[in-house]
């Protein structure tokens, strides 16, 4: 796995040929049990790396389009699986728990539910100075952020309002994204640039 | 290939398991003939992508440790190959030309030779607001730059002096690196942070 801006956060990626960008998974290393977010399939090397850092206790998904390698990694590590409450009905893979806005399933992690994205109640993950997005915010171009394209948004105004509210949980130095280039510095300003 | 901060620059990567970071290659798309810098092996998808953008006319290497996929891509695209003048004697692969400090082998590209790195005369590539490094400057941690570790530098003071001089060709918004995370914004400040 690759180092990020924080010694307790790692990432690994798979290149998506349809979009010409990387899909990223995230590993948060913590003494009380590691957390994976929207994990991509892991190479044998990265699996050994994560083993050496203590495996995984929880896997959280931002939305039902990011099931990625969750089921196989949950089996591999004996991890519990969490997904958005708003997608509880018919979620495509087996989950141990569903989470809603304001939940803090482990100490130090706050979940924020976003409106207007392609799925209801998409979760953003706030870890101190860092926020991790699944789909609503992305990095198609290096060094700046973009919103999910209008064609995929269910309600642009609601999405923007959700971002405005999320900024209240900052300030954020890093804005990490499931799709594309992460932002490691000056995150707040780059998020604010998405607001009208 | 992945988009960068500029529509005329693309990148593709290979994950290095020994260092847990990405090795990056760069493609600069220009009507007069595209330029590759320190290219990694390309997937069939990325080869088709580069074909669609006009192939490659030149391939430049920053230093003899970055021969990577140069020979096979030069054959594939019929590209000319350039390397640092200071490594002309015994360069490990066949080259068409060797370049030194101040050379501008194609319009819009200025070469800057760096001292004190692990090889003599390592080339940095200045393209307007963007500089591309091979080995001397790297991104082991997201959002900031680091110098090649002291154990690999031949002369730290000379390396720092080379960076100070290179800053004179800026200002740089982006600092792109062969090894690790690229910097897409605020490049000058992040380069200056490497100076004592």
**Residue from A3, A18, A48, A144 to probe the interface with B (highest B Cβ count within 10 Å):** A3
Domains within chain B, CATH numbers bracketed: 2-192 (3.60.15.10)
CB-neighbour burial class of residue B134 (10 A; exposed 0-12, middle 13-18, buried 19+) = buried
pLDDT for the residue A83: 98
Give me the DSSP letters along A96-109.
Answer: SEEE-TT--SSTT-
As a whole number of angstroms, the distance between CA A134 and CA A178 comes to: 5
pLDDT at site B17: 98
Quote the CA–CA distance of B28 and A175 in Å, as a whole number. Answer: 27
**Mean residue pLDDT across chain A:** 98
ipTM: 0.95
Closest-CA residue of B relative to A3 is B141
pLDDT band at residue A35 using 50, 70 and 90 as cut-offs = very high
Q: What is the pLDDT of residue A67?
A: 97
Question: Is the alpha carbon torsion for A177, A50, B18, A5 positive or negative?
Answer: positive
Rounded Cα distance, A193 and A141, in Å: 14
- Paired with A180 in beta bridges are A139
Q: Which of B20, B26, B43, B130 to mutate to test the interface with A (most CBs of A within 10 A)?
A: B20
Number of H helices, E strands in chain A: 4, 13
Query: pLDDT in tens for each of the 196 residues of chain B?
Result: 999 999 999 999 999 999 999 999 999 999 999 999 999 999 999 999 999 999 999 999 999 999 999 999 999 999 999 999 999 999 999 999 999 999 999 999 999 999 999 999 999 999 999 999 999 999 999 999 999 999 999 999 999 999 999 999 999 999 999 999 999 999 999 999 999 9
Summarised one tens digit per residue, pLDDT across range A103-160 is 999 999 999 999 999 999 999 999 999 999 999 999 999 999 999 999 999 999 999 9
Tell if the CB–CB gap between B5 and A45 is shorter than 8 Å: no
Q: How far apart are CA B144 and CA B194, in angstroms?
A: 9
Distance between CA atoms of residues A135 and A66, nearest Å: 9
Pairing type for strands B58-60 and B35-37 reads parallel
In terms of DSSP H, where are the helices of chain B? 44-52, 70-77, 156-167, 187-192
- Rg over alpha carbons for chain B, rounded to the nearest Å, is 15
Q: What count of residues does chain A have?
A: 196
Mapped onto helix, strand or coil, the DSSP state of residue B18 is: coil
């Amino acid at each position: 796995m690759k180092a990020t801006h924080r010694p307790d956060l790692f990432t690994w990626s798979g290149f998506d040929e349809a979009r010409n960008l990387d899909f990223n998974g995230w590993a948060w290393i913590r003494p009380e049990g590691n957390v994976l977010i929207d994990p991509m399939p892991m190479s044998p090397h990265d699996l050994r790396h994560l083993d050496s850092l203590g495996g995984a206790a929880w896997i959280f998904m931002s939305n039902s389009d990011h099931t990625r390698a969750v089921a196989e990694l949950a089996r591999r590590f004996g991890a519990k699986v969490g997904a958005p409450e708003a997608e509880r009905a018919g979620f495509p893979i087996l989950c141990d728990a569903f989470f809603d806005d304001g939940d803090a399933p482990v100490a130090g992690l706050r979940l924020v539910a976003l409106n207007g994205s392609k799925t209801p109640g998409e979760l953003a993950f706030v870890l101190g100075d860092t926020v991790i997005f699944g789909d609503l915010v992305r990095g198609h171009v290096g060094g700046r952020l973009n919103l999910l394209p209008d064609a995929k948004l269910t309600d642009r105004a609601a999405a923007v309002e959700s971002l405005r509210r999320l900024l209240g949980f900052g300030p954020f130095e890093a804005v990490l994204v499931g799709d594309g280039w992460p932002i490691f510095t000056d995150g707040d300003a780059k998020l604010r640039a998405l607001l009208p």
